[in-house]
Amino acid sequence: MKRTYYLAALTIAIAMPLPAVAATINAVMYKNPSCSCCETYAAYLEKNGFTVELKPSNDLDQISAGLGVPEKLQGCHSVVIGDYVVDGFVPVDLIKKMLAERPEITGIAMPGMPMGSPGMGGQKTESWTIYAFTKDGKAPTVYATE
């Protein structure tokens, strides 16, 4: 009887799929050295499967422009994730959506520092608009609203 029990348990264990190990997503964050909300946003990304390398810079405007972020969308940090740039406090679900769908854009951005957004804290008091942008100079388009 015991042998049957063990064989049944072994069969179930073998038949059950092993949990998928989620690969971490590497990111490099260029940030204003005096901005602590960027570090909070980096921690938010890390909590959601990213590994974030922080690179403080006093030349953030030049770095962001070089990455293709339009001036009106630039914030206190730009995050490079693979072939894409994320500027501002974009929710992680939209970043992962972009990475999965691989649209032909340079990146996405959420301008400003809206309350309730990841990294800012507080309660969400307004809807957010996240823009897609390209390096070719075309006007940004709405990627999502939340």
Cβ 51 vs Cβ 118: under 8 Å = no
For the stretch 2-21, pLDDT in tens is 444 444 443 444 443 444 44
- DSSP for 96-112? HHHHHH--SSSEEEE-S
CATH annotation of 26-145? 3.40.30
User: Would you state the pLDDT for residue 110?
Assistant: 96
Cβ 106 vs Cβ 85: under 8 Å = yes
In sequence order, the 6+-apart residues with CB closer than 8 A to the CB of 72 are 111
For the stretch 16-41, pLDDT in tens is 344 444 578 999 999 999 988 999 99
For the stretch 73-118, pLDDT in tens is 999 999 999 999 999 999 999 999 999 999 999 999 999 888 999 9
Cβ 35 vs Cβ 78: under 8 Å = no
User: Would you state the pLDDT for residue 24?
Assistant: 87
